[in-house]
Amino acid sequence: MYLSLPPGVPQPADRVCAVWPRGTVGARQDGPMSIFDDMADTWDDKPDRVERTRTVAQRLRAALDFTDIESALEYGCGTGQLSFALADVLPHCLLMDSSVEMLKVAERGIAERALPWDTERRSFAAHSPDHPVAITDLIFSLQVLHHVDDLDTAFTNMATALRAKGQLAIIDLPVGSAGFHRGSKHNHADNPHLDGLDPHDLEQRLAAAGFRDITWHDDIALVRDGDDGPVPYTLFLVTARV
Ligand SMILES: C[S@@+](CC[C@H](N)C(=O)[O-])C[C@H]1O[C@@H](n2cnc3c(N)ncnc32)[C@H](O)[C@@H]1O
């Protein structure tokens, strides 16, 4: 179910109209509220997040081939800022997230920019028969997968959603990033990968899901605003194709 349809925008032929049935995702995302719902309205107020988006967008421009992309999908889009930063090279983008409140903010961003884009509430980590097939040329995801418990299911559903030769880009915390969520409401019972993702493990999972040309790019060095001042941290960038 799409949460928005910008006025006057025709439906693309490949428009997905899949519903995310309640009960098909983990309890963390299935309730009416999640931690991310609570954070949605103020998510973009933090300058370190704005800077992260800007830096990651630059790195994606360098790492990906945007020439033949008709349709892209940002998985775990949050408020959509990363996709908006790439709007000039994304004719269509589906902003996908499991948080209703994040998607509401993303929809406002789509409307303000008059983009012919869509949003969808979905978890690729959920076992569901209605995940989309061959709808997009590019899937990208920034700091989402360390919150996803079933990575294998998520990668399989991403591979299925990509068209032939479709590209995948994952930007996330490397294993050993325990400090990143210190003091946050996230907990390991709900998030088995909360301390970051192991590159070797990730590569094996991607290959098993059907991805090839798995390429590790230079790490992305960033700084976040900690309680006691700036805290440096690193993200990895890995790209692949189906
Ligand atoms: C750390 S935030 C990052 C948001 C955005 N990518 C950014 O960098 O600003 C993680 C996002 O992933 C979403 N998310 C978490 N688990 C998810 C899942 N299983 N499926 C889809 N989205 C998920 C959350 O709702 C949240 O918007």
CA 91 to chain centre: 18
Distance in Å, CA 133 to ligand 1 centroid? 21
Q: State the average pLDDT over residues 3-27.
A: 35
Distance in Å, CA 204 to ligand 1 centroid? 23
Tell the residue nearest (CA) to atom 18 of ligand 1.
Answer: 123
| 68 token code pair | 């033949």
Distance in Å, CA 203 to ligand 1 centroid? 21
Domains by residue range for the chain, with CATH: 27-241 (3.40.50.150)
Q: Is the CB of 181 under 6 A from ligand 1?
A: no
* 51 three-state secondary structure: helix
pLDDT value at residue 86: 98
143: left (phi over 0), alpha (psi -120 to 50) or beta: left
pLDDT tens sequence across 113-136:
999 999 999 999 999 999 999 999
pLDDT tens sequence across 151-206:
999 999 999 999 999 999 999 999 988 778 776 777 776 778 888 999 999 999 99
Q: Is the CB of 83 under 6 A from ligand 1?
A: no
* This model's pTM is above 0.75: yes
